[in-house]
Amino acid sequence: MSALRILADGNIPAVAEYFAQFGSVRTTEGRTLSAAELAEVDVLLVRSVTRVDEALLRDSPVRFVGTATAGVDHIDIAWLEGRGIGFAAAPGANANSVVEYVLAAIAAVDDSLERLLAGGRVGVVGYGHVGSLLARRLRALGIASLHRDPWLAPVSLADPASLEEILACEVISLHPSLVTDQPWPSRHLLGPEALATLGCEQLLINASRGPVLANDALLARLRQPNPPRCVLDVWEFEPAVLQPLLQRVQYGTPHIAGYSHDAKLAATRMLAQALQGYLGLAAAGPAHAGEAPVLELPPALTGVDLLRQLCRLRYDLAADDRRLREAVLGAPETEARVAFDLLRREYPLRRELAGSRVRVLNREQVPLVEAMGAVVVPG
């Protein structure tokens, strides 16, 4: 096999370690990638900020494209197939990272967690890798949930529900792919009519794609009496953030719900394996994030206090919210857009709770620790 010329988004971690076996590896800025940069590139590796289509690749020698994301709405897959260009994504790589973000949001916003543990329900829209894992995690925690994904047969969903039933839940968490196809497009899935049904005792979370939630309509609803509480990780016009909307949400973050170190490495590994398969080579080894220090729990914590602490052990939602507000609010739009991307590019290392070792001195804590996917280490 002749050496391949590989160009990768600089935000993809460990790309040199995984792809040097195939040839030379260069990195670039994904959002500003131009066709001129691809004149001597065989393999292109991107993230969601790069639109990959005929305009970008028409005159290039690229023969394999990989995106280190689960979503593929930024890729013209049909055009790639028509040109015989290999393609791979990383579905499921960041699912647990997003699930832990959602649980952290629930734990952080007022009494949402208490209401759920007292019999409330989470309405989950989208039942792919993230939505289905969130449902399983909630079930393990003893929290009820309803699920909607009209693209799937109802028999494949646990507790299927209509959109109206979802919107009546105490927490609504959005996880659909961004699609414009009929009969169930997800762009502006929640617009003025749906948002009007939500009240001040409900929490709305969007950690999927920005345009799933009409941002102008949401801002209008949040300006009205008794608005729902809201946590946004994604924004309709990224990297632009509607500043008045950021001022009104409980927490806002710069599209980093799936940005755990574990998730990023898993995505890189999946792309390396896909390229090896495309080339007919042996599969890559597992991604090694390295073992993190053992986490400690105060032995007196139980119940909702314990669960809230578990949600905070690996992820500080308030810190991400603070960084975004400091970088964006009051800044000119051009500077704010640059700052948004910089927050993602320089995102601090974050590990997942699932798979982490947690020292337990109180045996009553074991069920909740295990329900969160962590590994119990006896005290």
19-41 pLDDT tens trace: 999 999 999 999 999 999 999 99
**pLDDT of 288 above 80:** no
Please name the residue that has the structure tokens 């994504």.
89
Q: Which of 250, 255, 257 is nearest to 99 (CA)?
A: 257
Would you say residue 160 has pLDDT above 60? yes
Longest dimension (CA), the chain: 65
pLDDT tens per residue, range 226-242: 999 999 999 999 999 99
CA distances from 17 to 10, 225, 291 (A): 13, 53, 19
Helix (H, G, I), strand (E, B) or coil at 198: coil
Catalytic option among 255, 261, 269, 344: 255
Q: Which pair of tokens denotes residue 5?
A: 């010329």
Query: What Cα–Cα distance (Å) separates residue 87 from each residue in 32, 274, 285?
Result: 21, 8, 20
Catalytic residue among 100, 170, 236, 238: 238
Kind of pairing, strands 251-252 and 229-232? parallel
Q: Which of 281, 284, 276 is nearest to 88 (CA)?
A: 276
Question: 255 catalytic, yes or no?
Answer: yes
Q: Please tell me whether the overall predicted TM-score, pTM, comes out greater than 0.85 for this model.
A: yes
- From the number of C-beta atoms within 10 Å of its C-beta (0-12, 13-18, 19+), residue 294 rates as exposed
Tell me the per-residue pLDDT of 47-74, one tens digit each, with 9 for 90 and over: 999 999 999 999 999 999 999 998 898 9
Instruction: Examine the residue annotation and report whether 209 is marked as an active-site residue of this protein.
Output: yes
Closest to 9 (Cα-Cα) out of 36, 38, 61, 47: 47
Confidence of residue 292 (pLDDT cuts 50, 70, 90): confident
The active-site residue out of 147, 209, 261, 351 is 209
- DSSP 8-class letter at 227: P
pLDDT reported for residue 283: 54
pLDDT digits (tens, 9 = 90+) for 105-154: 999 999 999 999 999 999 999 999 999 999 999 999 999 999 999 999 88
Query: What are the residues whose beta carbons fall under 8 Å from the beta carbon of 132, sequence distance 6 or more?
Result: none
| pLDDT the model gives residue 155 | 81
- The candidate with the shortest Cα–Cα distance to 215, out of 188, 178, 233, is 188
Distances (CA, A) of 325 to 65, 122, 127, 241: 34, 28, 31, 10
- Do the Cβ atoms of 167 and 194 come closer than 8 Å? yes
- 3-state DSSP call for residue 68? coil
- Tell me how many degrees the CA angle 322-328-331 measures, rounded to the nearest 5: 140
DSSP string, 287-356: ----PPPPEE--TT--HHHHHHHHHHHS--HHHHHHHHHHHHTTS-HHHHHHHHHHHHHTPPP---STT-
Q: Identify the pLDDT of residue 284.
A: 53
Question: How many residues belong to the chain?
Answer: 379
Express each pLDDT in 355-370 by its tens digit.
999 999 999 999 999 9
- The answer to whether 170 touches 201, Cβ cutoff 8 Å, is yes
Q: What is the mean pLDDT of residues 213-231?
A: 98
- Residue with the bigger pLDDT between 12 and 282: it is 12
CB 234 within 8 A of CB 49: no
- Please report which confidence band the pLDDT of residue 285 belongs to, taking 50, 70 and 90 as the band edges: low
Q: Give the SS3 label for residue 210.
A: helix
Report CA torsion sign: 242, 248, 249, 250. Answer: positive
How many C-beta neighbours within 10 Å does residue 259 have? 22
140 within 8 A of 371, measured Cβ to Cβ: yes
Q: Which two tokens stand for residue 319?
A: 């810190």
Q: CA-to-CA distance for 316 and 197, rounded, in angstroms?
A: 31
85 token code pair: 């260009």
